[in-house]
């Protein structure tokens, strides 16, 4: 056809803002389906939560939900417990996961060990919520649990009852269990990003392994480690499925409180309490994520 003229004048280039607002709006047309979809299924629910949190009976503006929230012992305790759980399980997962990630990075890159560990980590971290909970309940509690009865017969440790995993310690154990593989997945790329040339340069300049870790790898990995820790925190804080399966009575975590508020038949005094709790959750997670992005931005300059 007119390949010659086409070559001389390629398809109209995207206007880079020089064409005025109309041009920009026109060029945005292609994103309309996406925007519409996310508006309906993401923005609208979020707005409903935000607005609802500030609504009292009869859709009037009120801070009653928050007053209820802040004066309720159980809710505040569950919030506190969620924070502690997320922090502790995050810390445990971060440390152990970082160590595993380091050792994994020293293995041959395309090798079998890596593939096995990454595959196992993906499974345990990402889609095992309910199944994992069952694994722990069935192994660690009661006379039939493998671990509980072994500990009992070998070391005389008293059998844990079914409600063990409703306690904070029990929850920490289970949460740490899936935080470790998540850490491996998140942190492994960072460890891989430590170039062999830096190690070799350190050695040729006279540095030992200790020097390398203290002055090169340590400082380089610290931002990634902190960022990963934040992600682990947010992950634990938002977790619901595992908690729902583990906890028998009550709602010792904030996510369970929200679920309880959502499904309870009897009004809990404030009609949009769940939404208020949800809003508090979002704010906390948003702060954590903001800190994560700030750290990412800074360290990506180095390792990019």
Partner 1 sequence: MIQPVTSAVGETTGSPSAKSAGPSLVAVGQAGVAVELRGLSRSYGDVHALDGMSLDMTPGELVVLLGPSGCGKTTALRVLAGLEDADSGQVVVGGKDVSSVPTSKRDMGMVFQAYSLFPHMTARDNVAFGLQLRGQDGPTRRKRADEYLELVGLNSQADRYAHQMSGGQQQRVALARALAIQPKVLLLDEPLSALDAKVRVQLRDEIRRIQLEVGTTTLFVTHDQEEALAVADRVGVMRAGKIEQIDKPDIIYSAPTTAFVAGFIGLTNRVSGHASDGIVSVLGSNVPLLPGSPTSGGVTALVRPEAIRFTPSTMGSGPGTATVVATSFLGAHGRVQARLADGAILLAQMSVGETVALHPGDIVDVAIAPSRVLATA
Partner 2 sequence: MSAGTGQAGPAEAKNFGGPGDTPVDADALTQVAMEYPMAPEIAAGSAPRKLRAAARRKQAIIRRIVITLVALFMILPLAGLFDFSTRLLNGKRTWRSWSTVFHFSQLTAAAPDLIAGFKITMALCLVTAVLTVALLVPTMTWIRLRAPHMSKLVEFICLLPLTIPAIVLVAGLGPVYRGIAHTLGTGNIWLCFIYVILALPYAYRAIDTGLAAIDVKTLSEAARSLGSSWSRVMLKIILPNIRAAVLGASFLTIALVLGEYTVAYLLSKSNLSVALFNLGLSASGDPRLTAAVSLILLIFGFVVMFGFSLIGSARREKKVKK
Site for partner 2 in 38-57 (CB under 8 A): 38, 40-42, 44-49, 52
In angstroms, the CA 131 to CA 128 distance is 5
Q: Is residue 302 involved in binding partner 1 (CB under 8 A)?
A: yes
Name the minimum Å distance from CB 227 to partner 1. Answer: 15
Give Cα 247 distance to the centre of its chain.
20
Check residue 219 for interaction with partner 1 (CB under 8 A): yes
206 in contact with partner 1 (CB under 8 A): yes
Q: If you search the block for the tokens 């063990």, which residue do you land on?
A: 164
How far apart (Å, rounded) are the C-alpha atoms in residues 273 and 142?
36
Which partner, partner 2, partner 1, none, binds residue 24 by CB below 5 to 8 Å per kind? Answer: partner 2
Residue of 232, 234, 226, 286 lying closest to 255 (CA atoms): 234
CA distances 73 to 34, 81, 106, 161, 180, Å, are 42, 12, 49, 26, 32
Partner from partner 1, partner 2, none binding residue 302, C-beta < 5-8 Å depending on class: partner 1
Q: Which stretch binds partner 1 (CB under 8 A): 4-12, 122-130, 178-186, 216-224?
A: 216-224
Q: Which of residues 146-185 bind partner 2 (CB under 8 A)?
A: 146-147, 177, 180-181
237, 214 contact by CB (below 8 A): no
Q: Does 205 bind partner 1 (CB under 8 A)?
A: yes
Nearest to 199 by CA among 218, 185, 186, 183: 218
DSSP character at residue 160: B
Which span (71-79, 86-94, 152-160, 241-249) binds partner 2, by CB under 8 A? 241-249
Exposure string for 243-260, b = 16+ CB within 10 A, e = fewer = bbbbbeeebbbbbbbbbb
The binder of 107, among partner 2, partner 1, none, by C-beta within 5 to 8 A per type, is partner 2
Question: Is residue 204 a contact residue for partner 2 (CB under 8 A)?
Answer: no
* Among the listed residues 110, 156, 158, 206, the single contact to partner 2 using CB under 8 A: 110
Helix (H) or strand (E) holding 27: helix 20-27
Residue 301 touches which of partner 2, partner 1, none (Cβ within 5-8 Å per kind): partner 1
The encoded tokens of residue 249 equal 């009575």
Chosen from partner 2, partner 1, none, partner binding at 157 (C-beta under 5 to 8 Å by type): none
Nearer to partner 1, 268 or 303 (CB): 303
Q: What are the residues binding partner 1 (CB under 8 A)?
A: 195, 197-198, 200-208, 211, 215-216, 219-220, 301-304
């Amino acid at each position: 056809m007119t390949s010659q003229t086409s070559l001389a004048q390629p398809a109209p280039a995207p206007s880079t803002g020089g064409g005025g607002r109309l041009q920009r709006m026109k060029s945005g047309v292609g994103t309309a389906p996406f925007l519409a979809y996310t508006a309906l299924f993401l923005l609208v629910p979020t707005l409903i939560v935000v607005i609802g949190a500030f609504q009292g009976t009869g859709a009037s503006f009120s801070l009653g939900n928050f007053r209820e929230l802040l004066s309720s012992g159980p809710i505040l305790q569950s919030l506190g417990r969620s924070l502690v759980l997320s922090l502790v399980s995050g810390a445990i997962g971060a440390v152990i996961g970082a160590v595993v990630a380091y050792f994994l990075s020293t293995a041959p890159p395309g090798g079998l060990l890596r593939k096995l560990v990454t595959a196992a980590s993906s499974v345990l971290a990402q889609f095992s919520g309910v199944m994992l909970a069952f694994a722990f309940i069935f192994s660690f509690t009661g006379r039939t649990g493998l671990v509980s009865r072994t500990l009992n017969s070998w070391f005389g440790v008293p059998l844990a009852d079914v409600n063990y995993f409703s306690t904070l310690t029990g929850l920490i154990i289970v949460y740490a269990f899936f935080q470790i593989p998540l850490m491996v997945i998140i942190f492994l790329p960072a460890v891989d990003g430590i170039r062999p040339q830096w190690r070799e340069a350190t050695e040729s300049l006279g540095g030992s392994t200790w020097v390398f870790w203290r002055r090169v790898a340590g400082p380089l990995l610290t931002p990634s480690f902190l960022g990963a820790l934040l992600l682990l925190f947010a992950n634990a804080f938002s977790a619901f499925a595992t908690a729902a399966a583990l906890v028998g009575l009550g709602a010792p975590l904030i996510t369970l409180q929200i679920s309880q508020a959502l499904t309870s038949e009897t009004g809990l005094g404030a009609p949009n309490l769940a939404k208020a709790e949800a809003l508090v959750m979002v704010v906390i997670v948003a702060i954590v994520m903001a800190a994560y992005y700030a750290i990412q931005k800074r360290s990506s300059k180095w390792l990019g």
